[in-house]
């Protein structure tokens, strides 16, 4: 890359709604770590998004700092990337308001995450849950983001962010960069271990449905042993074998082996052997993250420093976009 060519910009976020799962890791965070050398990366713990579902205040405060520690433990390097907590840069909420006036009710009504979360939290279908994708668009568009590494569940939100950006640009000229998704091939959607037709999610009520990045080896192996599969006996990737397909995707993403290599490895062996191998491989992969988290999470002063610096940089980088937007829509400046 020539000196004049600017590095492309990456933005992504994760909600501090629980301990990150293997799904979060394989669908998003692993890519974040790998992209840091070649892109200007900005990663955020999106606490504004988290309160669209009712949270306990003390618990949320703890989870935010734990999330920062866990991202650092996963290899997000504050020397290379900007790591910050979303609420600490007011520009996100400010741009979100403006963009909500350029987003249609009908568009938001079609969002499948809104439909799923409304069904799950029928007693709290708040306006923030509905406008959640507008805030996500603001997150992305503030930083002139070129690429957004996410799991496939976020593709629809990203499509909406692109539409909002294009709509705004059509009215006011070239204000926003239109972002592209960056979605992994094998692990774009890791499924729940107890119901392989559902996404693995950190806020699932059933702890056996997900592996967290902080589970110990015994817990990981136990959860994989209990994973729901089928009544067949061969380890092969086939339609209708959701549970086995999911375990094969996990094993492939973690070990680097292809599906045909995995099928060969377990020829003539049963599901029990396969589940144990997946469990051991995942546990060995996650062990260094867990160890690093234990070290980092007790160093509150260090974590606070990272958050302060990150917020300052995020504010600095997003200031110009917000000013431009305010000017374009006709706000007076005094
Ligand atoms: P919640 O359960 O609170 O809704 P979540 O586990 O779905 O949370 P998010 O914070 O919403 O996680 O997502 C963070 C990132 O992880 C996003 O890029 C999302 O696409 C990705 N992701 C989440 N779950 C999975 C999964 N099961 N497989 C692959 N990627 C995932
Ligand atoms: N909505 C995302 C989290 C998120 C995000 C973002 C992801 C919030 N803002 C910006 C990418 C870019 C989710 O995972 N549920």
What's the token pair of residue 312?
């300052």
Contact of 99 with 132, CB cutoff 8 Å: no
What confidence score (pLDDT) does residue 87 get? 98
In order of their start, the domains of the chain are 9-188+300-329 (3.40.50.620), 207-294 (1.10.240.10)
Mean pLDDT, 10 residues at a time, the chain of 334 residues: 74 96 98 97 98 97 98 98 98 98 98 95 96 98 98 98 98 98 95 97 94 98 97 94 97 97 96 98 98 96 98 98 98 94
What confidence score (pLDDT) does residue 4 get? 54
What's the token pair of residue 197?
């037709």
**pLDDT single digits (tens) 7-23:** 999 999 999 999 999 99
Q: Which residues does the annotation mark as catalytic?
A: 117, 199, 202
Say how far apart CA 180 and CA 161 lie, in whole Å.
Answer: 10
Q: Residue 149 pairs with which residues in a beta bridge?
A: 182
Ligand 1 site residues (CB inside 6 A) read 14-15, 17, 21, 23-24, 27-28, 150-151, 153-154, 188-190, 199-203
What confidence score (pLDDT) does residue 203 get? 87
Ligand 2 site residues (CB inside 6 A) read 11-13, 15, 46, 49, 136, 139-140, 148, 150, 154, 157
Residue 324, SS3 per DSSP: helix
| Ligand (nearest to CA of 74) | 1
187 Cα nearest atom in ligand 1: 29
What's the token pair of residue 221?
């192996």
**pLDDT single digits (tens) 141-186:** 999 999 999 999 999 999 999 999 999 999 999 999 999 999 999 9
| Ligand (nearest to CA of 9) | 2
Say how far apart CA 117 and CA 105 lie, in whole Å.
Answer: 17
What confidence score (pLDDT) does residue 6 get? 83
Q: Residue 212 pairs with which residues in a beta bridge?
A: 21
Radius of gyration of the chain (CA): 21
Query: How many other C-beta atoms lie within 10 A of the C-beta of residue 267?
Result: 10
Say how far apart CA 313 and CA 330 lie, in whole Å.
Answer: 27
């Amino acid at each position: 890359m020539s000196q004049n060519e600017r590095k492309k910009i990456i933005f992504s976020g994760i909600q501090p709604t629980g301990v990150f799962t293997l799904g979060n890791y394989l669908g998003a965070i692993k890519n974040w770590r790998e992209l840091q050398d070649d892109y200007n990366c900005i990663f955020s713990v999106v606490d504004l998004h988290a309160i669209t579902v009712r949270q306990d205040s003390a618990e949320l405060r703890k989870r935010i700092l734990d999330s920062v520690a866990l991202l650092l433990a996963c290899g997000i390097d504050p020397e290379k990337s900007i790591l910050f907590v979303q609420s600490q840069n007011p520009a996100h909420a400010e741009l979100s308001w403006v963009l909500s006036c350029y987003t249609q009710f009908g568009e938001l009504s079609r969002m499948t995450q809104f439909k799923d979360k409304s069904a799950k939290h029928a007693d709290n279908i708040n306006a923030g849950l509905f406008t959640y994708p507008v805030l996500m668009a603001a997150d992305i568009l503030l930083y002139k983001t070129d690429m957004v590494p996410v799991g496939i569940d976020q593709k629809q939100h990203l499509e909406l962010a692109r539409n909002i950006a294009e709509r705004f640009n059509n009215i006011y000229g070239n204000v926003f960069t239109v972002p592209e998704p960056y979605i992994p091939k094998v692990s774009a959607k890791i499924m729940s271990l107890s119901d392989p037709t559902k996404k693995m999610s950190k806020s699932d009520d059933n702890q056996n449905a997900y592996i967290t990045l902080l589970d110990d080896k015994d817990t990981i192996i136990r959860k994989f042993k209990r994973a729901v599969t089928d009544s067949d006996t061969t380890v092969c990737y086939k339609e209708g074998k959701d549970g086995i397909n999911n375990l094969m995707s996990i094993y492939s993403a973690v070990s680097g082996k292809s599906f045909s290599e995995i099928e060969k490895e377990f020829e003539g062996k049963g599901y029990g052997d396969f589940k144990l191998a997946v469990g051991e491989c995942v546990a060995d992969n996650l062990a260094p993250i867990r160890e690093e988290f234990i070290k980092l999470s007790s160093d509150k002063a260090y974590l606070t420093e990272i958050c302060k610096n990150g917020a300052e940089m995020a504010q600095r980088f997003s200031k110009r976009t917000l000013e431009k937007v305010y000017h374009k829509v006709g706000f007076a400046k005094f």
